[in-house]
Amino acid sequence: MKAVVSLNSGSSSIKFALYGLDAQGSPSLSAGGKIEGIGIAPHLVARTVDGETIFDRNWPDGANLTHADLLKELFDWALGHLDGYEVVAIGHRVVHGGTQFAAPRLIDEALLDALDALCPLAPLHQPHNLAAIRAIRTLQPDLPQVACFDTAFHHDKPLLASRLAIPRALHDQGIRRYGFHGLSYEYIARRLRDIDPALAGGRIIAAHLGNGASLCAMRGGRSVDTTMGFTALDGLMMGTRCGSIDPGVVLHLQTQMGMSAAEVEQLLYKQSGLLGVSGISSDMRALAASDAPEVEEAISLFTWRAAREAGALTASLGGLDGLVFTAGIGENNADVRSRICRRLEWLGLEIDGLANAGHGPVISLPDSRVKILVIPTDEERMIALHSLTIMEKRT
């Protein structure tokens, strides 16, 4: 059976998924898994679509194992255990496509060079994405690989939603608002067309609330504005990231408090957000189990900030027809959804308490002027679909 693999390679983890192709060439998930703890004590686990564990390995002293080493382990295992599958392409999530790449691309050396040049725009993510691509080029030089960009969905948003109020020359050098989580939003736009085509043609805010969190304003399934900007640090409060912050704070930390740029980066990316405000955890599940007042304040701030940004995006859209929740928190935390929606009642959102406790997709009351939905995201599937489209164009 022909198959496509999706890879999402981050700083300390690699997520992977294998999709078998049916006679019509549609992908269906066969297996998937994760390598976590890269650089410390890696753990690789792979499961079938039915949840059966098919590979589970720990490297307790694996601090020296790179992404490339671990991908080789995965490949070696897969070659021996996945007979019956012929992998025709590997698709990758690549965080930054810059101003140049508005759609997925087949990877070659020239593209890799162009993507290398974008590393300064996403120094914490892009090098890991490219390392995985290069590792596979070494292992399987003839296997087609496809780059799917997190920025691409936002590429054609209006200029005003891209421009920062800084000197024009800097915009021309690429210092502008890009937006991220594009593969997730693209998937949500597609699913919404299946679930409620009329609504999909309207003014929608999609709320991707996971460890990273952002909102995307879509009109007719296309991005017109989003809360993340130049980097994935902007916008909403997140698990460990601060979201929008007065840039004066950054200057103050450096000029008055003597922090280095690296220390400020660590503070804003890793020690802020839910973790920083609660002082307990970045994980919403852990926070939900605590009754500390700092935790209540952290969750309140998270939901208030999300509602506030949704108000701003409603202005970008000129009104609102639907709000869609997705990702770990958005899909699973009814309390967070309810708190955000209650703050947006003035906009015509009426959440149905019973439906919100269930499985969706619609969780608003029948008379709610703005429809509210929960739609599970699937970035890996979007990568597989893009990879197949690129392969079809090739033949």
247 φ/ψ angles, rounded to the nearest 5 degrees = -60, -20
Closest CA to 12 of 53, 97, 58, 70: 70
My answer on whether omega of the bond before 361 falls inside 30° of 0, hence cis, is yes
Give the nearest distance from C-beta 273 to ligand ADP in angstroms: 10
For tokens 């948003």, the residue is 157
Nearer to ligand ADP, 236 or 391 (CB): 236
Closest distance to ligand ADP from the beta carbon of 210 (Å): 3
285 marked as part of a ligand binding site: yes
Residue 209 assigned as binding residue: yes
Q: How far is the CB of 72 from ligand ADP (least distance, A)?
A: 25
Task: Report which of 65, 75, 91 is spatially closest to residue 12, judged by C-alpha positions.
Answer: 65
Instruction: State which of residues 35, 147, 200, 284 lies at the interface with ligand ADP (CB under 6 A).
Output: 284
Is the CB of 327 or the CB of 374 nearer to ligand ADP? 327
Cα(303)–Cα(42) distance, integer angstroms = 34
Looking at beta carbons only, is 17 or 391 nearer to ligand ADP? 17
Is residue 199 a contact residue for ligand ADP (CB under 6 A)? no
56 included as an active-site residue: no
Which of 91, 97, 104, 210: binder of ligand ADP (CB under 6 A)?
210
Contact between 203 and 219 under an 8 Å Cβ cutoff? The reply is: yes
Contact call for residue 244 and ligand ADP (CB under 6 A): no
With binding defined as CB under 6 A, does residue 332 bind ligand ADP? yes
Site size toward ligand ADP (CB under 6 A) is: 12
The phi, psi pair for 77, rounded to 5°, reads -65, -45
Rule CB under 6 A: is residue 122 a binding residue for ligand ADP?
Answer: no
Q: Facing residues of 269 across strands? A: none
Binding test (CB under 6 A) with ligand ADP, winner from 27, 32, 91, 328: 328
Q: Is 201 buried (19+), middle (13-18) or exposed (0-12) by CB count in 10 A? A: middle
Q: Burial-class residue 25 by CB neighbours within 10 Å (0-12, 13-18, 19+).
A: exposed
- The reply on whether position 361 binds ligand ADP by CB under 6 A is no
Considering the complex, state which of residue 285 and residue 342 has its C-beta at the smaller distance from ligand ADP.
285
Identified binder of ligand ADP from the candidate list 73, 265, 283, 350, rule CB under 6 A? 283
Least separation in angstroms between residue 327's CB and ligand ADP is: 4
322-326 and 371-374 beta bridge pairing: parallel
Among 33, 104, 212, 322, binds ligand ADP (CB under 6 A): 212
Stretch that binds ligand ADP, among 94-102, 132-140, 280-288, 343-351 (CB under 6 A): 280-288
Q: Which of 189, 195, 230, 231 is nearest to 208 (CA)?
A: 189
Which of 66-74, 125-133, 251-259, 329-337 is the region at the interface with ligand ADP (rule: CB under 6 A)? Answer: 329-337
Among 132, 167, 173, which residue's Cα sits nearest to residue 10?
Answer: 132
For ligand ADP, the binding residue among 151, 227, 333, 356 (CB under 6 A) is 333
- Count the Cβ atoms, other than its own, within 10 Å of residue 295: 20
Distance of CA 358 to the CA centre of its chain: 24
331 is in an annotated binding site: yes
Catalytic residue among 50, 69, 108, 150: 150
Helix residue spans in 106-206 (DSSP H): 109-116, 126-139, 168-172, 182-195, 197-200
Task: Give yes or no for residue 239 binding ligand ADP (CB under 6 A).
Answer: yes
Amino acid at 210: G
Q: Does 285 participate in binding ligand ADP (rule CB under 6 A)? A: yes
Nearest CA among 80, 113, 116 for reference residue 96: 116
One DSSP character per residue, 22-86 reads: -TT--EEEEEEEEEE-TTSS-EEEEEETTS-EEEEEE-TT-TT--HHHHHHHHHHHHHHH-TT-E
CB 381, min distance to ligand ADP, A:
14
Work out whether 211 is an interface residue with ligand ADP (CB under 6 A).
yes
- 235 part of the interface to ligand ADP, by CB under 6 A: no
Give the active site residues: 150
Query: Which residues are annotated binding-site positions for substrate?
Result: 93
Residues within the annotated binding site? 8, 15, 93, 208-212, 283-285, 328-332, 379
Query: Which residues contribute to the site for ligand ADP (CB under 6 A)?
Result: 210-212, 239, 283-285, 327-329, 332-333
Numbered residues of the known binding site for ATP:
15, 208-212, 283-285, 328-332
